Structure 1
Amino acid sequence: MKIRILTIGQKMPAWVYTAFDDYLKRIQPFVTTQLLELPMAKRGKNDSDADILKYCQIEGEAILSQIKQGEILIALEVGGRELSTEKLAQTMQQWTLEGSDIVLAIGGPDGLSDAVRKAAAWHWSLSKLTLPHPMVRIILIEQLYRAMSINHNHPYHRA
C-alpha cells in the first residue's frame, strides 16, 4: 500500500511544513506516504458564484489528472463519514491487506469539484468543525500516523 495526499494550495507557512514533515518522516517506516501540492486557481476579490464554481472545476481537473490507474480516491470534506482513530486503523489495515494504493484529496478554499466527489470511492470528514486549510494536512498526516502506530503496536497511541 502507498498513500498519496493531493492538496490544493502551495506556499504554506513554514510551521505547516515543519509539522507535516515531522509526521511524514514518522509514518514512512509503516507506509510510503507522499504529499503533492497542486496550484490553487487564481481568485479575485469580487468573484461570483459562477467564478467560484469554475475555480473548483479547474482544481478538480488538476486533482483528477494526478490519479493513477488502480488508486482509490478518497475525498476529504466536511460532509463525509467520520471515523474514530481505531476505525481508521482498521480501514488502513484493510487497505494494506488488499494492496490498495490510496489517494486522499484535499480541496481548495471552496472545496472539491463535483467531478472529484463523483470519482471518489468515499468521502471522509476529519471533523464537524470547519478547519483552517493548512491544518487539514497536519491533522490528516497525524491521524494516518496514529492509525499506523496502532496497527504496528507502536506506543505513540495511548487510548
Structure 2
Amino acid sequence: MKLGIVAVGHKMPDWVAAGCEEYVKRMPRELPLGIVEIKPEPRHGKSREQLLAAESVRLRAALAAFPRVVVLDERGEDLTTLALAQALREWMQDGRDTAFVVGGADGIDEGIKRSAERRIRLSSLTLPHALARLLLCEQLYRAMSVVRNHPYHREG
C-alpha cells in the first residue's frame, strides 16, 4: 500500500519542503508516502467556481492512481492521532493506495469532496496550506509510529 498527499500548490517554502522530505524519508518501506503537487489555476478574474472546476480536473487526474481518497476539509471528521493510526491499520489490511487531498486557497471542488471515502480535518484553526501539508506529513508519520509501537508518539 502507498500513501499520497495530492496538494494544490507548488513552490513551497524551503522549510515546508525540508520538513515534508524528512517525514517522507522516515516512513517505513511497507507504507511509503509521496507528495503530488497540483499547479493552482491562475486567478485572472475567474470566479471561485471556475478556479475550483479547473483545479478539479488536475486533481482527478492525479487521484486516478488512488483507489481511496481522503479529503482534508474544515468540516471533516475531527480525528485523534490514535484514530488516524487505527484507520491506517484498517487501510493497510485492505491494501488500497490512499490519497489525502489538500486543496488550494479557494478550497476543493464539491464533487471531489462528495466522491471521497472520508473527510477529515487537521484542526479547527484555519491553517495555511503549506503548514497543513507539513502537519499532515508529520501526523501520518506519527500515526504509523503508533501502528508500529515506536516510541515517537507518547500518549498521556
TM-score by length of 2: 0.94
Q: Distance in 1 between matches of 2:59 and 2:65?
A: 14
RMSD, matched Cα: 1.4
- Aligned equivalents of 1:52 and 1:113: distance in 2? 10
Deviation, 1:29, is: 3.3
Which residue is equivalent to 1:72? Answer: 68
**Quick one: which amino acid aligns to residue 21 of structure 1?**
E
Rounded to whole Å, the distance in 1 between the matches of 2:83 and 2:18 is 27
1:10 aligns with 2:10: yes
Count of residue pairs brought into register by the alignment? 155
Deviation at 1:68, TM superposition (A): 2.8
Query: In the alignment, what sits opposite 1:90?
Result: 86
How much does 1:67 deviate?
A: 2.1
Q: In structure 1, what is the Cα distance between the partners aligned to 2:107 and 2:27?
A: 27
1:147 to 138, 143, 148: 143
1:6 match: secondary structure: strand
Instruction: List runs of 5+ in structure 1 lacking aligned partners.
Output: none
Deviation at 1:69, TM superposition (A): 5.8
> What is the SS of the residue equivalent to 1:129?
coil
The residue type paired with residue 36 of structure 2 is: L
Q: Is the 8 A contact 2:66 2:99 kept in 1?
A: no
Consecutive unaligned residues in structure 2, runs of 5 or more: none
% of aligned pairs identical? 34
1:101 partnered with 2:85: no
Deviation at 1:51, TM superposition (A): 1.1
What is the 5 A alignment of 1:43-62? Answer: 43-44=43-44, 47=45, 51-62=47-58
Q: In structure 2, what is the equivalent of residue 36 of structure 1?
A: 36
Question: What is the CA-CA distance between 1:60 and the residue it aligns to?
Answer: 1.1
